[in-house]
Amino acid sequence: MWRVVIVTIIIIIIIIIIIIIIIIIIIIIIIIIIISYKSSQLQTVRF
């Protein structure tokens, strides 16, 4: 029984870590997009 509990806890921790990493990556991508959009707006409107 203890082995199963430990394995499920480890799996849950891994899933949480993966979710956190994905969220961080998404936030970084959004920040990069916003920065590039503002900088492109500053130069000239290309659209």
Domain boundaries, the chain: 1-37
- Distance of alpha carbon 35 from alpha carbon 42, whole angstroms: 11
What pLDDT is stored for residue 44 in this prediction?
61
CB atoms within 10 A of CB 27: 10
Cβ distance 11 to 17 under 8 Å? no
In this predicted structure, the answer to whether residue 47 has a pLDDT above a threshold of 80 is no
Structure-block tokens of residue 42: 């500053």
**1-33 pLDDT, tens digit each:** 789 999 999 999 999 999 999 999 999 999 999
**Has residue 43 got a pLDDT over 70?**
no
Report residue 7 as tokens.
């394995």
* Higher pLDDT among residues 45 and 17, named by residue: 17
The verdict on pTM exceeding 0.85 is: no
Q: Alpha-carbon distance 31 to 17, whole Å? A: 21
Higher pLDDT, 32 or 39: 32
User: Do the Cβ atoms of 40 and 46 come closer than 8 Å?
Assistant: yes
